C-alpha cells in the first residue's frame, strides 16, 4: 500500500493509475489527474505540510 502524495488516498501499488520517481523515491497515484498535478509541482506535493488536493475525486475520498 502506498499513499498518493496529492490527494493522500491509500493506493494499492499494483492497482495505481500511474507512478513516478522523484528525488530517488517512488510515488503512486490514484488517478492520472493526481499524477499530472504532481508532475507539474513535485516539490509542493512532497512537502508533508501540503494539504490534500481532491481534484481527482471532486472533493474527497
pLDDT in the model for residue 3: 95
Q: Please indicate, yes or no, if residue 34 is contained in any of the structural domains.
A: yes
Q: Please indicate, yes or no, if residue 28 is contained in any of the structural domains.
A: yes
Q: Please indicate, yes or no, if residue 52 is contained in any of the structural domains.
A: no
Q: Which residues contact 2 (CB under 8 A, 6 or more apart)?
A: 10, 11, 12, 13, 16, 26, 27, 28
Question: What cell numbers appear for 42 in the block?
Answer: 513535485
Q: Please indicate, yes or no, if residue 53 is contained in any of the structural domains.
A: no
How many domains does one find in the chain? 1
What is the chain's pLDDT, residue by residue, as a tens digit (61 residues)? Answer: 999 999 999 999 999 999 999 999 999 999 999 999 999 999 999 998 899 998 887 655 5
Q: Please indicate, yes or no, if residue 23 is contained in any of the structural domains.
A: yes
Q: Please indicate, yes or no, if residue 60 is contained in any of the structural domains.
A: no
Q: Please indicate, yes or no, if residue 59 is contained in any of the structural domains.
A: no
Residue-range definition of the domain harbouring residue 16:
2-44
Decide: pTM greater than 0.85: yes
What is the DSSP secondary structure assignment for residue 33, as one 8-state letter?
H
pLDDT in the model for residue 57: 72
pLDDT in the model for residue 58: 63
Amino acid at each position: 500500500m502506498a499513499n498518493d502524495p496529492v490527494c493522500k488516498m491509500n493506493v494499492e501499488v499494483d492497482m495505481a493509475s500511474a507512478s513516478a520517481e522523484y528525488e530517488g523515491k517512488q510515488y503512486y497515484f490514484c488517478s492520472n489527474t493526481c499524477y499530472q498535478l504532481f508532475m507539474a509541482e513535485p516539490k509542493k506535493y512532497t512537502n508533508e505540510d501540503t494539504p490534500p488536493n481532491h481534484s481527482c475525486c471532486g472533493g474527497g475520498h
